[in-house]
């Protein structure tokens, strides 16, 4: 096992350890910004980083790694503060804590919407097309919000988007998918409050790349989420290590997931049709500063690892509060 994977496992196991006291949490939150010794960019710097974008290419091409790194550091600090603040608000005497802000839900379709010819573009990756990042406050532009996105689940106009950076060979990604994702779908996605957007982060070797290619081959036929759930379920059945799926297993899972044209699926998997898209998507995640899986951008707050359900609920509720403020401000 690589040192990177050891670090990821150690980080993901943090959710199982004893929660710090309020005083300890406050101390950690106050101390964390001291770790970022890099100078804060000026407004002119931020504007110049996106000045070359013509609005036709994906915004991340015009943003240097240093800008993304600084933005992610800021997100981690904010996310930590949100976690410790939100972890105290799980229940209020049996009163529902879902959408406490009272923000209006989205009205779009929950499932991905096919294009005019009934097809899905499985080559999509990266942030919202044409979007630019001028400051950390613009991180919401990382979310694509494309109704034809086959890797998205939830209303395109949902007030909160969770961008997921995941790897089918990652055991903690399987833990999230098998233990937490369905609850979020039931409580928030199906109610029009949250939209999930998958991003390939294939960092666990050649097997991970091939798994992601299989996911894209399924997505091309509108079956990504069915395939994803079936594959992560299979990973869980294999145990806690890397599942190391074979091509035969990927084909069997695609058939189980209901991919309609299996000959097309197998051809695309064998021909490497989606290899470049997977590599580009993984590079995009790396440019954001994400080095381990799973990682999540909940609105504009970063959550690292397969955290317990209540951590996601807390961060979602905070994001809904921000959405409500934006709604009232007429944005």
The CATH number assigned to the domain holding 69 equals 3.40.30.10
- If one counts the domains in the chain, the total is 1
Q: Would 218 be classed as within a structural domain?
A: yes
- 313: Cβ contacts below 8 Å, ≥ 6 apart: 86, 90, 97, 187
Q: 79-138: per-residue pLDDT in tens?
A: 444 444 444 444 555 556 799 999 999 999 999 999 988 899 999 998 888 777 677 777
pLDDT of residue 19: 44
Q: Would 22 be classed as within a structural domain?
A: no
- Helices 65-86 and 22-31: crossing angle, nearest 10°? 160
Q: Would 172 be classed as within a structural domain?
A: yes
Average pLDDT over residues 295-323: 96
Model confidence, pTM: 0.74
φ, ψ for residue 304, nearest 5 deg: -110, 130
Q: Would 113 be classed as within a structural domain?
A: yes
pLDDT at 58 over 60: no
- Helices 247-256 and 205-219: crossing angle, nearest 10°? 30
Q: Would 297 be classed as within a structural domain?
A: yes
φ, ψ for residue 291, nearest 5 deg: -120, -10
- Name the more confident of 279 and 1: 279
Cα–Cα distance list, 49 to 41, 130, 194, 283 (Å): 10, 14, 30, 19
Q: Would 186 be classed as within a structural domain?
A: yes
Average pLDDT, the chain: 79
Q: Sign of the CA dihedral 129, 290, 284, 198?
A: negative
Q: Would 53 be classed as within a structural domain?
A: no
pLDDT of residue 133: 65
Q: Would 42 be classed as within a structural domain?
A: no
Domain membership of residue 109 as a residue range: 63-328
């Amino acid at each position: 096992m690589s040192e990177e994977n050891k670090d990821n496992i150690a980080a993901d196991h943090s959710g199982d350890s004893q929660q710090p006291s309020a005083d300890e949490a406050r101390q950690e939150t106050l101390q964390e910004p001291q770790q970022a010794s890099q100078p804060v960019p000026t407004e002119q710097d931020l504007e110049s980083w996106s000045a070359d974008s013509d609005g036709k290419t994906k915004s991340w091409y015009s943003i240097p790694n240093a800008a993304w790194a600084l933005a992610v550091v800021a997100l981690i600090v904010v996310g930590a503060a949100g976690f410790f603040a939100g972890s105290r608000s799980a229940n209020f005497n049996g009163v529902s804590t879902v959408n406490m802000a009272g923000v209006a839900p989205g009205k779009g379709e929950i499932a991905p919407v096919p294009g005019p010819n009934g097809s899905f573009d499985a080559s999509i990756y990266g942030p919202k097309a044409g979007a630019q990042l001028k400051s950390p406050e613009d991180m919401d532009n990382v979310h694509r919000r494309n109704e034809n996105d086959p890797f998205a689940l939830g209303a395109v106009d949902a007030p909160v988007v969770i961008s997921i950076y995941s790897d089918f060979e990652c055991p903690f990604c399987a833990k999230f998918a098998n233990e937490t994702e369905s609850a979020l779908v039931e409580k928030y996605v199906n109610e029009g409050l949250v939209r999930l957007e998958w991003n390939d982060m294939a960092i666990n070797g050649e097997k991970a790349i091939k798994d992601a290619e299989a996911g894209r081959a399924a997505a091309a036929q509108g079956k990504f989420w069915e395939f994803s759930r079936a594959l992560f379920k299979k990973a869980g059945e294999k145990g806690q290590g890397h599942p190391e799926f074979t091509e035969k297993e990927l084909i069997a899972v695609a058939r189980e997931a209901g991919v309609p044209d299996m000959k097309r699926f197998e051809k695309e998997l064998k021909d490497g049709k989606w290899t470049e898209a997977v590599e580009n998507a993984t590079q995009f995640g790396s440019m954001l500063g994400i080095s381990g899986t799973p990682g999540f951008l909940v609105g504009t707050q970063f959550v690292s690892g397969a955290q317990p359900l209540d951590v996601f609920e807390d961060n979602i509720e905070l994001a809904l509060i921000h959405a409500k403020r934006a709604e009232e401000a007429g944005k």
